């Protein structure tokens, strides 16, 4: 554990490196209020980012949650092994010719984090695992890993609730039924610009282009600060290379990553005699863009979700476009966990 790397108002942030299998490591951050309430029954938050993002994308949302919730004990964010600071830690491994990566590999990082950093001090706290886009698939797939050596059973799942925001999950009936925006995104992501003269130029360039032009200013600032690194030649470049971002959109990955969570969701929400084992909440942005309404509806009908809601102020990138509205929706999830946990 390192010293606090930076601070948000009222929050202390510490950095961690979580060792994983096959030599992979995950960079993580823990957020705690300076004035802890030491509640006996509070909330621990875990956040999984989407493809192409980074763990600090959640900062504005996390800050609002702690401002509004005296029962929030701590929050954790984790960089996917090929993204953010994790990409730096795994540079030699992820750039080998034989390297491949799937949604469930990101799930491993959360299982390792939980077992080493949360389980030992959890006590009676509730744990809410939040995933956005592709990170939602990884959040669901943690159930397969926690349940080992019987991966078909989800009843040993230690997570109290799942919150899936604009999840990149759909039934096999929706395989290959993509929107024009989705097809366009996956076609260009591997070739998009990744280098700038400095962070100021990067911010100016991104602010003038979709999708970054639609983002909340604080989230864009976080992206410029944390998703970029010095390139060794006086400029800056993306920590997550376009190659590794495109890998998760590849034909051999995208449908597997999107459909594999469906039976796990059914196990979690229907497998206990039709009663949910774990409440799973699904949230969509009000604007339909990356995923069609038909694909979203097919997901809704595939399992017994605790709630399905809409977040105003954005579309698929709702976490980047309306981070405060996302926080409010997540606080409603936490409140629903236990009537005695007053937020």
Q: Domain segments of the chain: what residues?
A: 7-174+255-337
Confidence of residue 34 (pLDDT cuts 50, 70, 90): confident
Tell me the whole-structure pTM to 2 decimals. Answer: 0.93
Tell me, what's the pLDDT at 238? Answer: 97
Q: Measured between alpha carbons, how far is 293 from 315 in angstroms, rounded to an integer?
A: 12
Stretch among 51-60, 268-277, 286-295, 334-343 having the lowest mean pLDDT:
334-343
Tell me, what's the pLDDT at 151? Answer: 42
Tell me, what's the pLDDT at 341? Answer: 42
Q: Looking at the domain 7-174+255-337, which fold is it?
A: Rossmann fold (3.40.50)
pLDDT single digits (tens) 196-237: 999 999 999 999 999 999 999 999 999 999 999 999 999 999
Residue 136: count of CB within 10 angstroms of its CB: 27
Calculate the average pLDDT of the chain.
90
pLDDT single digits (tens) 111-125: 999 999 999 999 999
Q: Measured between alpha carbons, how far is 205 from 329 in angstroms, rounded to an integer?
A: 31
Confidence of residue 4 (pLDDT cuts 50, 70, 90): very low
Tell me, what's the pLDDT at 5? Answer: 44
CA angle, corner 67, sides to 61 and 70, nearest 5?
120
Confidence of residue 148 (pLDDT cuts 50, 70, 90): low
* Mean pLDDT, rounded, for 161-184: 94
């Amino acid at each position: 554990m390192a010293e606090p790397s930076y601070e948000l108002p009222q929050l202390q942030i510490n950095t961690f490196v979580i060792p994983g299998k096959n030599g992979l490591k995950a960079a993580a951050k823990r957020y705690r209020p300076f004035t802890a309430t030491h509640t006996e029954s509070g909330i621990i938050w875990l956040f999984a980012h989407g493809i192409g993002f980074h763990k600090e994308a959640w900062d504005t949302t996390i800050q609002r949650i702690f401002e509004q919730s005296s029962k929030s004990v701590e929050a954790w964010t984790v960089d996917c092994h090929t993204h953010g600071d994790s990409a730096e830690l795994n540079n030699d491994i992820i750039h080998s010719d034989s390297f491949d990566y799937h949604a469930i590999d990101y799930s491993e990082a959360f299982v390792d984090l939980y077992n080493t950093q949360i389980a030992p001090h959890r006590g009676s706290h509730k744990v809410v695992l939040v995933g956005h886009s592709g990170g939602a698939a990884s959040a669901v797939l943690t159930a397969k890993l926690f349940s080992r050596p019987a991966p078909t059973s989800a009843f040993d799942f230690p997570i109290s609730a799942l919150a899936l925001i604009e999840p990149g999950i759909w039934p096999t009936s929706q395989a290959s039924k993509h929107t024009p925006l989705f097809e366009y995104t996956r076609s260009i992501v591997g070739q998009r610009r990744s280098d700038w003269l400095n962070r100021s130029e990067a911010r100016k360039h991104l602010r003038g282009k979709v999708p970054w032009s639609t983002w909340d200013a604080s989230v864009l600032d976080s992206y410029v600060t944390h998703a970029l690194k010095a390139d060794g030649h006086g400029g800056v470049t993306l920590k997550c290379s376009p190659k590794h971002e495109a890998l998760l959109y590849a034909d051999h990955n995208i449908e597997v990553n999107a459909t594999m969570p469906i039976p796990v969701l059914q196990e979690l929400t229907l497998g206990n005699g039709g009663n949910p084992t774990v409440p799973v909440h699904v949230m969509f942005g009000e604007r339909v863009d990356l995923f069609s309404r038909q694909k979203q509806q097919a997901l809704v009908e595939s399992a017994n979700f605790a709630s399905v809601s809409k977040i105003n102020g954005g579309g698929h990138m709702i976490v980047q476009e309306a981070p405060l509205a996302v926080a409010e929706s997540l606080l409603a999830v936490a409140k629903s966990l236990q009537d005695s946990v007053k937020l």
